[in-house]
Amino acid sequence: MGFLENYQEIDPVTLNLCILIASYVILLLVFLISCIMYDCRGKDPSKEYAPEPQPTQSPIRLVVMQSTPGAAAGARWDPTSIIPSYHDSPQADSRPKKSTTRLLVVCLLRGSSPPLDPRRFMNHRASANCRYQPTCYEHAANCYTHALLVVPAFLGMALLHRQADDGWQRLTAVVYGLGLIALFLVSSVFHIISWKKSHMRSVEHCFHMCDRVVIYFFIAASYTPWLNLRELGPLASHMRWFVWFMAAAGSVYVFNFHERYKLVELAFYLTMGFLPASAVTSMTNTEGLPELAVGGLLYCLGVFFFKSDGIIPFAHAIWHIFVALAAAVHFYAIWKYLYRPPGLPSDPQS
């Protein structure tokens, strides 16, 4: 009965958010297991390929000539001395290769760990000022990790808009929701084009820039509810428009110096992420600051994987997961402390 009592005290939004995160984690685990058990050997698993032709080995003819010191000058070719010889492939190559699935089952039956090579899940690290080329597994993970969150982001915006009390709260909910939707939608479209339509270089390049630009506006939109709906000091109140000025400046930088100075671009993202936090921490009402700190920590941890393409398999997809978790924590804080109507079961005043 104690579990049922605790279950009834949980508000519906918190429960649905927990179910969404659990479902998201389960889908990612299913995808990871599918990658391990399916061996496409660097090919696109969504396409069928004809079997690779086996190279034909031509015989190598060895000419054996016998000569004596006296007959060296009158030596001639002897057709009967031509001995055909063939290169025999090594015994290990002549045996049929076991599939990854069969090898995994055998290792599980024997109680040993499967000898999986993580290098087949990633390519070599890109050189300076060049883009990393993901494997087919990484392409799929990059798409799914954000595409699954487009609809939940839209539903979250609708929830905040419905629970708003006035027009200012509704406008803030729309701005924040559109930033959240744009982040996941543009990222998904870019990774799908990069995976399936890589020959469309101009379109891919355009969406890559949009993917970078939308990060600036997402950071600004994430701070907007706190800057608009909380009382700020005279100096911190200017951050309401300055955060959007930084987003516009970052967009200009992307359109002029895209992929040229990656460390400078990363420094811009971090500066824009931490600078408005100084204004938020100066609020008289400090409710929600622990959740903001946890979300910021998740973003910072994800930056490590953001810069680890070619070093850690699925590094960019792991970065997407950290972004999703941090965005979920921030959304929960915004709903609970800025939009949550009073009188719910878990409200302290009820």
Q: What digits encode the pLDDT tens for the residues 204-256? A: 888 888 999 999 999 999 999 999 888 877 777 788 889 999 999 999 998 88
Per the CB < 8 A criterion, the answer to whether 38 and 137 are in contact is no
CATH number, domain with residue 214: 1.20.1070
Secondary structure letter of residue 120 according to DSSP: G
- Is there a domain that residue 47 lies in? no
Residue-range definition of the domain harbouring residue 204: 120-339
Map tokens 């009390």 to a residue. 165
Secondary structure letter of residue 231 according to DSSP: -
Domain count, the chain: 1
* φ, ψ for residue 82, nearest 5 deg: -80, 120
- Is there a domain that residue 6 lies in? no
Specify the pLDDT at position 153. 92
Cα 293 off chain centre by: 22
259-to-208, 209, 254, 283, 311 alpha-carbon distances in Å: 10, 9, 8, 37, 19
- Is there a domain that residue 148 lies in? yes
* Token pair for 337: 């402390």
Categorize the per-residue pLDDT at 26 as very low, low, confident or very high, splitting at 50, 70 and 90. confident
- Is there a domain that residue 1 lies in? no
Length of the chain, in residues: 350
- Is there a domain that residue 36 lies in? no
Specify the pLDDT at position 97. 44
Specify the pLDDT at position 204. 82
Listed residue (197, 207, 211) closest to 139, CA to CA: 197
Per the CB < 8 A criterion, the answer to whether 157 and 174 are in contact is yes
Specify the pLDDT at position 49. 42
pLDDT averaged over every residue in the chain: 74
Where is average pLDDT lowest: 41-45, 98-102, 228-232, 331-335? 41-45
Q: What is the mean pLDDT of residues 84-102?
A: 46
Statement: residue 112 has pLDDT above 90: no
- Is there a domain that residue 156 lies in? yes
Listed residue (13, 10, 28, 20) closest to 321, CA to CA: 28
- Is there a domain that residue 243 lies in? yes
- Is there a domain that residue 10 lies in? no
